[in-house]
Chains A and B, each alone.
Chain A
Amino acid sequence: MINFVLRRLGQSAILLVIMSLLVFVGMYVVSDPVAVMAGEDATAADRAALAAAYGLDQPLPVQYLTFLANIVQGDFGTSFVYGRPVLDLIFERLPATLEVVFLAMVLGLAFGIPMGIFSGLNRRKPATRLISMITTIGYSIPNFWQALLFILVFAVWLRVLPATGRGPTTDFLGLQLSLFNAEGLRYMLLPAANLAVALICMQTRLARSGTQEVMYQDYMMFARAKGIAPRRLIGRHLLRNILIPIVTITALELGTLIAFSTVTETVFSWPGIGKLLLDSIYRSDRPVVVAYMILITLMFVLINLAADIIYAVLDPRIRYS
């Protein structure tokens, strides 16, 4: 197992290099930072000075090698736009994203799995049809539409929740989080719900289809024959057997939400990192984008590694050598 993890991490190192190269080239073909940074009435000299100062006058391979050399020394670069170290920028915003994604994940799993199992077990109940309807509609309503509806209903009409922004935060292990105070939570509720809807729908459907397959297996029959409590039957025997796809999606979504939940962050003005990425791409802020992508790739690698380990825990027949 330790070998397995080490090997994976070794592969990831290569991955990070490939990723940085891709992003480097990608940003290069997309837009020219000098053109974006220089003002409307910048002179040719202004542009040249700017390019020289950021090393943008060098050939791309040279720029890339310089970048790698800096990374090795722990320097991820300085934002073109903000003039600040990119890691500072990223880590300042990370807690806001992490907490809202965490809440969304909890909502997604807490509602999705029980609803899915219920539908799987009670195929013909009206409640099942209702769940199926709602989840279908839930994910066919585009995210941005949904966000606005949430704001309209809960903030504008009912006035029970704030429409935008992040509430007060409290210090938790050095992170600024609003998860641990009631007012802060109020601000988190709508964006988290907005992220959670798709998750709930996905988890419900995966759990439902898994249940419909597992429920009829001999071992489930025998487990029922043993007369164990329904809670245990479902919570242990059934759940363990339907979790693999759920874990897969949870892992992928976890990464995606942390990295790319730009729509939600934009509509609710949630000061997270997804927006930072989008803005940085649009402002041609290459250092931020590259550093961000390296971190995100690392995160995905770790999350997927964790998922792979969980597979083996869930199903003892899966073993990695």
Chain B
Amino acid sequence: MLLTIDRLSIAYELADGRELEAIKDFSLTLERGRIAGIVGQSGAGKSTIGKAVLGLLGENARISGGRILLEGEDIAGFSERQFGAIRGKRVGYIYQNPMTALNPVLSIGEQLIETIETHTDKRGTAARSYAVELLTGAEVSHPEERLTKYPHQLSGGLCQRIVFAIAIAAQPDLIIADEPTTALDVTVQKAVLGTLKRLAAQENIAIVLITHDMGVVSQMCDEVYVLLRGQLVERGPTMQIITAPQERYTQELMAAIPSVEQRRARFDVLDAFEETPGRQRGIDYLRAGTVALAHGDTMLAISNLSKTFTGEKGGAGFKALDSVGFAVRRGETFGIVGESGSGKSTIGRAILGLVHPDPGAIIALDGHPIGQENRQALSRKLQCIFQDPYASLNPRMDAGTNITYGIRAAGLVPRKHAQRLAEDLLEVVGLPRAAATKMPHAFSGGERQRIGIARALAYRPGLIFCDEPTSALDVTVQAEILNLMKELQDSLGLTLVFVSHDLAVVRQMCDSVIVMRAGRIVEEGPAEQVLTEPADPYTRQLLSAMPRFLRSAAAS
């Protein structure tokens, strides 16, 4: 047995002295060449398990029980030095937050090549060409050039593929892949997963795959572990879990999976969130917001939007966006899908005024060019859910303050109610009230994402640019949140610009869609049409690459 986790319990100590039991009595066994999936609710403790195997739990975490055996050796009590011999070499780790996982001040090349040079005998140009090879294997275009870039110059998906390349560089015995494809479009995702699968099959590598995408699970995993609030609720062979889930939570999970085949009014949910007075108050607050406006008028109009990033040392720039134009109607959900790195986030950053587009671009909100309005007024019309939720939270403010600071400043909520509102909104996005006083770094990936969502919603804006808002969420939570958004949309005319790789979600959510590739729009139209009768070859390719979770298969 390569990896055996035996009744592992892990506790985090919180700032106020309380202790949070993140993992209780979790057990897992894994042989070489096999892939184990861990699925479960966001915040259930999946990443905590992964980190524990590598000895990367923070200072405030404590393994309160159980063993972790790697080839029979208990590594739970290893010292930092002993772990040093394991990390990278025997266990590779694909970090959950790709955009913060890369050192911002070191070039991609350096971060990749140092790993290669540490674990293989390749040096110098050999290491470099192996790096290029790895990047190519991870579907990164222009790999040579990317090596000289810094993380902030790359898209989320590129970062994720680089993290992937780094993790597999040494061909370790075990790979822990913590949501390795959340930021990838489906074609790339397919390739990356293919690589993983090949590694397992050919190199006899064992993989722990943490994910919430049941499609991925069904395609990849030999066995599945279902986790809820730190506890294992069910484990079994993939087919068995998918087709015949025994536990209630697993059943809910399966039921909540959105389908790309058909569009429904609502995502299926089975009350993932507890209905509490606080949550109700929060929802009331959101509903009480924007005055319902007529649906259908053009709200956001963009034309001729180009963005060229200046190259290093005066070299030729890189054209991230090339004459992009589209219009978003009030009250609709406007989807942006497409290749990773095709400029989706850059569109958002341009709308939000965070990057200056090339001259000639027109971005108009309600008929007025953006930039002439004052920031405060704009903030109530336009909000954003960042692709990297963590970096967008002020690390020195607790979650509650992060959420309500802006609206308090804008006078949307009196100071004395701010704390309560923050807690209410946390409940709205499915987090406990107590989370309000935790600092951003002490949250799981999905939890951070939800804090970002709560912050954006709190403004009760007219339009939200959602950059992969639910990529780190399991389907049950995702369904709750997307339903909430839809509901706000229906009742208030909330407009959403929705960037996602999950075509099923896009189909469920969006009214119209554009498909992007290499900075250009390759196809646009009503979501139904684009996703069912794609005209562009690239769109077709996307659709065919989708990992399908076949409910029909489950039925049969």
Contact = CB atoms under 8 A, between A and B. Distances in A.
In the complex, are there CB atoms of A and B closer than 8 Å?
yes
Interface of A: 216-230, 232, 236-237, 240-241, 314-317
B105 A316 contact: yes
Contacts of A317: 104, 150, 152
Contacts of A223: 103, 111
Closest 9 CB pairs of A and B: A227-B88, A227-B87, A225-B93, A218-B100, A222-B101, A316-B150, A219-B103, A222-B95, A226-B88
18 contacts: A216-B59, A217-B100, A219-B101, A221-B95, A222-B163, A223-B103, A224-B87, A225-B54, A225-B56, A225-B87, A225-B93, A226-B88, A227-B85, A227-B86, A227-B87, A228-B115, A232-B118, A240-B103
A211 to B, nearest CB: 13
Nearest to B95: A222
A180 to B, nearest CB: 35
Interface in B87-136: 87-89, 93, 95, 97, 100-107, 110-111, 114-115, 118-119
Interface residues of B, number: 38
B319 interface: no
Nearest to A319: B310
Contacts of A220: 103
A135 B166 CA distance: 40
B84 interface: yes
A216 B118 contact: no
B118 A226 contact: yes
Contacts of B85: 227
Given A237-B106, A316-B152, A226 B115 contact: yes
B118 A237 contact: no
Contacts of A237: 103, 106
A182 B107 CA distance: 42
A216 B387 CA distance: 21
Nearest to A221: B56
Contacts of A241: 103-105
Contact of B118 (A219, A222, A228, A314): A228
Nearest to A227: B88
A229 B104 CA distance: 19
B58 interface: yes
A215 to B, nearest CB: 9
B263 interface: no
A240 B115 CA distance: 17
Given A226-B87, A240-B105, A316-B104, 8 more contacts: A222-B95, A225-B87, A225-B93, A226-B166, A227-B88, A227-B170, A229-B118, A241-B105
A315 B93 contact: no
A119 B170 CA distance: 32
B225 interface: no
A217 B104 CA distance: 11
B81 to A, nearest CB: 8
Contacts of B118: 226-229, 232
B451 to A, nearest CB: 16
Contacts of B408: none
Contact of B106 (A217, A218, A224, A240): A240
A228 B116 CA distance: 9
A226 B89 CA distance: 8
A222 B93 contact: yes
B441 interface: yes
Contacts of B54: 224-225
Nearest to A238: B103
B443 to A, nearest CB: 12
Contacts of B80: 230
Contacts of B93: 222, 225-226
A317 B103 CA distance: 12
B226 to A, nearest CB: 25
B114 A219 contact: no
Contacts of A219: 100-104
Nearest to B55: A224
A316 B154 CA distance: 13
A96 B196 CA distance: 63
A140 to B, nearest CB: 29
B390 interface: yes
A317 B102 CA distance: 14
A240 B107 CA distance: 12
A222 B103 CA distance: 9
Contact of B95 (A225, A228, A315): A225
Contacts of B88: 225-228
Contact of A222 (B102, B107, B170): B102
Contacts of A229: 84, 118
Given A218-B97, A226-B88, A315 B103 contact: no
B87 A236 contact: no
Nearest to A228: B118
